[in-house]
């Protein structure tokens, strides 16, 4: 089992950043990958699309989740240009995209017809967890590279972009050199 904890950092820009902490852990056990995000802090100004009408049975694939508060992770096979983007909304909606290379050939990943994940709202926080079977991507002995990120939309319309590493001049979660976890 390979387990790591993480803490996301906001992209350094001139905007006032919300008083938040985003941390979590990632576990690869054989070929099962589990990622848990914990968002805590002053959430009163964060726009969280929690839809009480969405359950795990009705949550659906939805485009453009990165235009709201959204938890994201990126998976790539070591030494391969292709990668996948996973989007998880606190509303329960989700999507998975595949790319042939850096922002090239974006397609909805048909290997996924559902992506069950949990969303909990403890006091002053939000916790999201997802598990996926990596057999669809790689054998258990294949090294995968992971980038973990979060988009925070504030009620005033401002965004902040959080990641393990910010390797570009602007927020850009697709840069492979930002996939800093190897499992």
Q: Are 72 and 132 in contact (CB under 8 A)?
A: no
pTM (2 d.p.): 0.94
Take residue 109 and report the two structure tokens written for it. Answer: 């990943």
pLDDT greater than 60 at residue 56: no
**Amino acid 18: pLDDT:** 85
Handedness of CA 104, 180, 35, 42 (dihedral sign): negative
Task: State how many domains the chain has.
Answer: 1
Q: How many residues does the chain have?
A: 183
Range of the domain at 52: 2-182
Calpha distance 160→51 (Å, rounded): 22
**Amino acid 77: pLDDT:** 95
Q: How many CB atoms lie within 10 A of CB 14?
A: 4
> In this structure, what CATH number is given to the domain that contains residue 29?
2.60.40.1190
């Amino acid at each position: 089992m390979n387990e790591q904890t993480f803490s996301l950092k906001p992209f350094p820009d001139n905007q006032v950043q919300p008083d938040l902490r985003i941390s979590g852990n990632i576990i690869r056990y054989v070929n099962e990958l589990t990622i848990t995000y914990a968002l805590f802090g002053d959430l009163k100004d964060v726009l969280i699309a929690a839809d009480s009408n969405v359950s795990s049975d009705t949550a659906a694939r939805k485009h453009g989740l990165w235009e709201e508060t959204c938890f994201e992770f990126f998976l790539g096979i070591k030494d391969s240009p292709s990668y996948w983007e996973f989007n998880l909304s606190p509303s329960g909606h989700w999507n998975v995209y595949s790319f042939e290379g850096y922002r090239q050939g974006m397609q909805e990943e048909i290997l996924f017809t559902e992506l069950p994940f949990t969303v909990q709202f403890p006091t002053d926080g939000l916790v999201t967890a997802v598990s996926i079977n990596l057999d669809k991507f790689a054998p258990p002995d294949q090294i995968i590279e992971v980038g973990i990120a979060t988009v925070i939309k504030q009620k005033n319309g401002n965004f902040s972009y959080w990641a393990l590493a910010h390797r570009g001049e602007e927020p850009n979660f697709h840069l492979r050199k930002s996939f800093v976890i190897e499992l």
